[in-house]
């Protein structure tokens, strides 16, 4: 495993039905990224969006800033899908967790920075699977080689 991002969510505000599904704004309250060569916190108030379709999938689109433990700001984004099945609904309602295999949570994190020490992140491609933990989404991101 190359990165372990955890995205803490404080709020989920329904915006309403749209042509492509029910849209909600996800209020990211923080989080943490730890992995090979990078450690830091996800800054609060990062915007996120979910679009839930009738097919039981939510399209996830998150954007934010990662502040590394050595003080570097890195722009981060993450897009993918979250399967809204019974296990996810139960975990969200009871503030419990799902296992990694209980739903499809597949995302691809991307990074941008002006700091030469972390520019290597821009040249990497990551794919991640994840699960629901109380108040957050937690992923295992792997570098595509």
Tell me the pLDDT band of 116, cut-offs 50, 70 and 90.
Answer: very high
What are the structural domains, with CATH classification, of the chain?
3-143 (2.40.160.20)
Q: Which pLDDT score is estimated for 45? A: 77
CA-CA distances (angstroms) from residue 75 to 3, 96, 109, 134? 16, 30, 11, 25
Query: What's the pTM value of the predicted model, to 2 decimals?
Result: 0.85
Query: What pLDDT digit, counting tens, does each position of 29-64 carry?
Result: 888 999 989 999 999 877 788 888 888 898 999 999
CB-CB contact of 84 with 102 (8 Å): no
Q: Please provide residue 117's backbone torsions phi and psi, each rounded to the nearest 5 degrees.
A: -65, -25
Separation of alpha carbons 109 and 58, rounded Å: 17
Query: What pLDDT digit, counting tens, does each position of 56-98 carry?
Result: 898 999 999 999 999 999 999 999 999 999 999 899 889 999 9
Asked if residue 1 has pLDDT above 60, the reply is no
């Amino acid at each position: 495993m190359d990165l372990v991002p955890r995205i803490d969510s404080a709020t989920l505000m329904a915006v309403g039905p749209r042509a492509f599904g029910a849209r909600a704004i996800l209020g990211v309250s923080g989080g943490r990224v730890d992995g090979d060569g990078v450690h830091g916190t996800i800054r609060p108030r990062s915007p996120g969006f979910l679009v839930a379709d009738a097919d039981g999938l939510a399209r996830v689109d998150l954007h934010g800033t990662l502040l590394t433990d050595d003080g570097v700001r890195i722009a981060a984004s993450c897009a993918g899908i979250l399967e809204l099945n019974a296990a996810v609904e139960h975990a969200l309602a009871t503030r419990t967790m799902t296992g990694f295999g209980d739903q499809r949570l597949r995302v691809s994190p991307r990074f941008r920075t002006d700091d030469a020490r972390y520019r290597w992140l821009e040249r990497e491609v990551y794919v991640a699977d994840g699960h629901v933990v109380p108040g957050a989404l937690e992923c295992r991101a792997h570098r595509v080689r």
